Amino acid sequence: MPTATANELVERYADYIKDRVIITTGVSPNSLGAYFVQTIAKARPAWLILASRDVKKAEKTQAAIAASHPDIKTRIIQVDLESLQSVRDAAAVVNSWSDIPVVDVLVNNAGMLVDDYSVTVDGVERQLAANHLGHFLFTNLIMDKILASKAPRVVNVSSEGHRLNQFRFDDYNFEDGKTYDILRAYGQAKTANILMATSLAQKLGQKRGAIDRVLGNKEGRPDYIPQMLPIEKGTATHVYAAFDPGLSAHNGSYLLDCHVADPLVDTIKPWATSPFEAEKLWRLSEKLVGQKFSY
């Protein structure tokens, strides 16, 4: 299956995509997220919710879906993952939808790279905020709708970039920029994606079958690190993570090239899967967003 394409897996999992409500963050044209939603549209999901900071870019992806699959219902939600207030506003909108009472699949796909050090209005280094903290808050704020699904699934998109740095609990803001390095900041954020998945699996794995997993395909690397897979294969792991029914036995697992990664063979670092580190990050994330989430 590592050589499968997204289109091939959509055909394989069509019955598991049909009639599902799927929210995907980061859906700008020509991105992994855009290719993912355009590909799964052919399997007739109930709704494709496109979450994006830039509404105009999301509208282009929405138009592409409509052009090839005019009968598929889509909706755009604006969210700036660097702003906790924007995330809260977006989650409130999702929770207000009476015509969409459940969210079957949430794909936390959006990500960013920042060359120069800067912090958000909330005082958090921007890569950490956009890649992890915004998704942490958004996921938890819409959790009631996720748990209302008969087969809920949350997917965090990480990458092999997590190997670049463990999470810096004592200095996640890089001494206020004095020691900032783009790759170490990226690695910290990608490690956080995996630790969040580990925490959610621990906390919610027994609740109505809630499943959280993280994928780390090679397409998730920074632009200037050579990418190893064409987009139709890079997004195959998105489809696999979101819809493969066999993954229910691998809650919280790290996926690489359409398989459950083996830490003895594959490239996952132990600091990214430690239950202790995961709980520590969960508590820090709660502190940073100013809200506790108990499950």
Write the pLDDT tens digit of every residue in 100-132.
999 999 999 999 988 999 999 999 999 999 999
- If pLDDT is split at 50, 70 and 90, which confidence band does 185 have? very high
Q: Is the pLDDT of residue 182 over 50?
A: yes
Give the pair of three-digit tokens for residue 114: 């920042």
Give the rounded percent of residues in the chain with a pLDDT score beyond 90: 71
Q: 29-38, 63-72, 226-235, 273-282 — which is least confidently predicted?
A: 226-235
Q: Is the pLDDT of residue 243 over 80?
A: yes
Q: How does strand 74-78 pair with strand 47-52? A: parallel
**Measured CA distances, 237 to 157, 193, 200, 279 (Å):** 9, 16, 20, 26
pLDDT at 212: 55
Give the rounded percent of residues in the chain with a pLDDT score beyond 70: 90
Give the pair of three-digit tokens for residue 120: 């958000």
- pLDDT tens-digit map of 38-92: 999 999 999 999 999 999 999 999 999 999 999 999 999 999 999 999 999 999 9
Q: Which residue has the higher pLDDT, 50 or 295?
A: 50
Helix (H, G, I), strand (E, B) or coil at 21: strand
Cβ 77 vs Cβ 106: under 8 Å: no
Q: Is the pLDDT of residue 295 over 60?
A: yes
Q: Is the pLDDT of residue 221 over 60?
A: no
Helix (H, G, I), strand (E, B) or coil at 61: helix
Query: What's the mean pLDDT when you consider all of the chain?
Result: 89
Q: 82-96, 163-177, 239-253 — which is least confidently predicted?
A: 239-253
Residue with tokens 């660097």: 82
**What mean pLDDT is predicted for residues 251-279?**
78
What sign does the dihedral 118-92-76-144 (CA atoms) show?
A: positive
Please give the sequence-ordered ranges of beta strands (E in DSSP) within the chain, or none if there are none.
21-25, 47-52, 74-78, 105-108, 153-157, 211-215, 254-255
- If pLDDT is split at 50, 70 and 90, which confidence band does 226 have? very low
Cα three-residue angle 148-76-245, rounded to 5 degrees: 40
How far does CA 233 lie from the centroid of its chain?
Answer: 18
- If pLDDT is split at 50, 70 and 90, which confidence band does 213 have? low
pLDDT at 207: 58
Q: Is the pLDDT of residue 34 over 80?
A: yes
Whole-prediction pTM value? Answer: 0.92
Q: Which residue has the higher pLDDT, 156 or 207?
A: 156
**What mean pLDDT is predicted for residues 148-171?**
88
**What mean pLDDT is predicted for residues 280-290?**
98
Helix (H, G, I), strand (E, B) or coil at 133: helix
Distance CA 204, CA 109 (A): 20
Q: Is the pLDDT of residue 161 over 70?
A: yes
- If pLDDT is split at 50, 70 and 90, which confidence band does 223 have? very low
